[in-house]
Structure 1
Amino acid sequence: MTHFNEIFVDVDAYQPPSKWEERFNNLQVWLIVALLLVGGWFFKDWMMNQFRFLALAEGQPVIPYPLQWQQQPAEAVTLQVVDPASKSPFHARETVILKNASKGDFTTVWPEQRTLQLRDYKEVERRLVKLGDDRQALWLLYTYVSDMGKSQAANASPGVIQAQDVVFETTNELGQKQWVVITLAADSNEWDQEWPTFRRILEKLGVPVL
């Protein structure tokens, strides 16, 4: 049995650490903290670079979308994911629409349809590009006004949305021609911070990014 006096430390025998030992111990603590911070940063960056893929018909392109973004079902939309970190009432998003091919060339017909669909639509630029499988696609950059007050907040003011469409033609499992429309959109005030993610999506699709 331990004697009562043995549970106390002999103060006279205690030797405080030297200044060099204190500095070394402090350095170890700061080194561990730094490693944890760097490790967390690399993990966050790794997560931001992870994607899921939406498969179309066999032999057709797969469509990447960010792993951390949340799915948000919407009418007449095949897939819609939004950035949960977005501060705007209009969350940054990626939307995929599959629609039956209309008469005419999608490279000219689709921009005309956008003009009718979106409020205060303004085309900024359009280019014909080739995807990773050498398939021709339309890249369309534009802005429009979204009144989120109608769907999310009664006191929300209209916001300017910046968006890009990548449109290409594909064939479904029944042999029918379809247009695939991939839209990357964000509040114009958040576009710069969302652009790195949008850029990676475009790169995975094989779209040349200027």
Structure 2
Amino acid sequence: MVNTGTIVVAAIGWVLIGLLSGIWMARRGFDALWILLAAPLGPLFVPIAVERVRRRPDSAEATPSESLPAGTGPRILIGVDGSPESVHAMTTALRTLGSPGSALVLAEVVNYEAAESGDGSDMAAATQRLEAAAKRMEVPAAVHTRVLVGAPGTALREFAERQGFDIVVVGRRGGGLSRHVLGSVSTELVTHSSVPVLVVEPQREG
């Protein structure tokens, strides 16, 4: 007869396998809500995760129509997501790197589900956030925007390398649960990017 301890251990193992599969999927550019679905499915979710990740498109531009600026100064890619950290990174980049000849591009990364959504509401919202951020930037040069698709760190890195940027600027997020579960964008960039990366520390209170 199976004792209670064995059942509890089996149940924990079941949920843990599902959680790890969902986290693995989310770290590769899929909606974090998959984690909630994965937990109760346990090992049954593993082939689902593998299949979706295997079939996923490469990190790509969702708004590729507008040509990127050439500029006579540095080409600067700034990752933004609406957080205070990304706003601080944006203003710091302008203050330290901005010049009349700079080519500035603001980029936000959305997950694959947002890009594939039929109504396009998530894409439209990302575009609006970027346009609003661009209008707040007081620079003599034009500011361009891009919506990218995939895992944030990977998408920014691949876009920067593909487009020949001189530097990528991102803000460092705090040590919250989402950072530990979904991974750090700044760590991904610093570890793997062939383009120089400026990581802006969050503002200190007081």
| Both structures adopt the same fold (TM-score exceeding 0.5) | no
- Per residue, is there more strand in 1 or in 2? 1
Larger radius of gyration: 1
- Per residue, is there more helix in 1 or in 2? 2
| Structure possessing the higher relative contact order (Cα contacts under 8 Å, 6 or more residues apart) | 2
Query: What's the TM-score, normalizing by structure 2?
Result: 0.30
